Amino acid sequence: MMRFYSLISSLILSVFLLFISGSGSLRTLKHLTVRRGGSLAVPCSYEEEYKSHCKYWCKGEHWISCDIVAYANSSSTGISVTDYPSQNMFIVNLKNLQDSDSGWYWCAVEIDGAADVRDYVYLTVSSDPAVWVENGRVIGQEGGGVSVQGFYSSEYKNGEKKWCKFKDRRCYPVGKTKTSQSSGVNIIDYSRGSFRVEMIGLQESDAGWYWFSAGLVGVTVHLTVTERPTTTTAAVTTVPTTQKTTTTAVTSASGKSEKPEAPTNPPDEETTTCGFGKPMESVEFCIAQN
């Protein structure tokens, strides 16, 4: 009989933990830290089926009473939430963070007629953060390399250090890791409160969000990988000196001849609109339901 009650208690506890932390349908990081007055980006990934759903950022220790701070593709003072459906991810950008901004937050996806999908993260803002990096955004070239310089407090001197890619949760420990024939990751822990992450032989697939963690506390870094420039030989054509060169022109409504404007490239990222363009009663309903 005791074993039966123990089994029931374990089952109830498992269901409760699943309820408060959401499911694998949406994931974020668990404990992030940032220096006072600094900025931080929080990545939140979701399943393919939620591409067109409303995403939002909520503040509060308890999900049932958290306050919605911003919807996707909208912004408030120091906060913006941008949805990238092509990557199944939305990013929460936080600026000019102060000690009062420390606390529990939730990445969430609105589900009509059912409980919203969500996952929580704890944010610590202080003058001397547990972990921080010199630059939260780095750029490298295909075939080249990048390095990230960071620091951690003395209490994490003996904590496990890892460099992880957010998309697939692949992590690299301190030391050298060969990822392919020509690329690899090297993490150097100087054991004096500083570390360096070196990535060589970059490939396009290496681009994305990463985080460095010491113990259970981490900080995010975004890596952009640009194409390697190609060297081309331009064909040279000799033009007789008597021949004039001409440029294509268009005639404006006023009759003046004008050079055509260079085309502008479309945005690289595809986004969805959430909150804006919806009837006000729909937005109010969204808030009331949460």
Mean pLDDT of the 254-266 span? 36
Shared domain check, 194 and 135: yes
Does residue 245 belong to any structural domain of this protein?
Answer: no
Domain boundary among 127, 142, 160: 127
Mean pLDDT of the 112-119 span? 94
Does residue 258 belong to any structural domain of this protein?
Answer: no
Shared domain check, 92 and 150: no
Does residue 174 belong to any structural domain of this protein?
Answer: yes
Neighbouring residues of 53: CB distance < 8 A, sequence distance ≥ 6: 46, 109, 110, 111
**DSSP-derived 3-state class of residue 174:** coil
Shared domain check, 59 and 123: yes
Distance between CA atoms of residues 22 and 9, nearest Å: 20
Q: What is the CATH number of the domain that holds 216?
A: 2.60.40.10
Mean pLDDT of the 192-215 span? 95
Min mean pLDDT across 89-93, 104-108, 234-238, 239-243 is at 239-243
**DSSP-derived 3-state class of residue 13:** helix
pLDDT at residue 15 tops 90: no
Shared domain check, 90 and 66: yes
pLDDT at residue 9 tops 80: no
For position 116, what pLDDT does the model report?
A: 95
For position 99, what pLDDT does the model report?
A: 96
Q: C-alpha distances in angstroms, 149 versus 1, 107, 195, 209?
A: 57, 28, 6, 16
Min mean pLDDT across 131-135, 155-159, 224-228, 280-284 is at 280-284
Shared domain check, 110 and 157: no
Shared domain check, 148 and 107: no
Q: Which two tokens stand for residue 201?
A: 């032989």
Does residue 136 belong to any structural domain of this protein?
Answer: yes
The reported pTM is: 0.72
Q: What are the DSSP calls for 20-55, one per residue?
A: HH--TTEE--SEEEEETT--EEEEEEE-GGGTTS-E
Shared domain check, 31 and 123: yes
Domain boundary among 82, 111, 127: 127
Neighbouring residues of 249: CB distance < 8 A, sequence distance ≥ 6: 257, 258, 259, 260
Shared domain check, 82 and 38: yes
- Mean pLDDT score of the chain, rounded to an integer? 78
Beta bridge partners of 186: 176, 198
Mean pLDDT of the 44-62 span? 96
Domain boundary among 110, 127, 144: 127
For position 122, what pLDDT does the model report?
A: 98
Q: Which two tokens stand for residue 54?
A: 């409303």
Does residue 260 belong to any structural domain of this protein?
Answer: no
Exposure string over 232-260, b if 16+ CB within 10 A, otherwise e: eeeeeeeeeeeeeeeeeeeeeeeeeeeee
Does residue 150 belong to any structural domain of this protein?
Answer: yes
Shared domain check, 123 and 47: yes
Shared domain check, 157 and 185: yes
Shared domain check, 145 and 96: no
Mean pLDDT of the 166-170 span? 91
For position 62, what pLDDT does the model report?
A: 95
For position 191, what pLDDT does the model report?
A: 87
Does residue 263 belong to any structural domain of this protein?
Answer: no
- Maximum Cα–Cα distance for the chain, whole Å? 106
As for how many domains the chain has, the answer is 2
**Local structure of residue 234 (DSSP, 8 states):** P
**Residue 40, domain extent:** 24-127
Distance between CA atoms of residues 229 and 262, nearest Å: 22
pLDDT at residue 89 tops 90: yes
Distance between CA atoms of residues 74 and 72, nearest Å: 5
The number of residues in the chain equals 290
User: Strands 31-35, 117-126: parallel, antiparallel or unpaired by DSSP?
Assistant: parallel
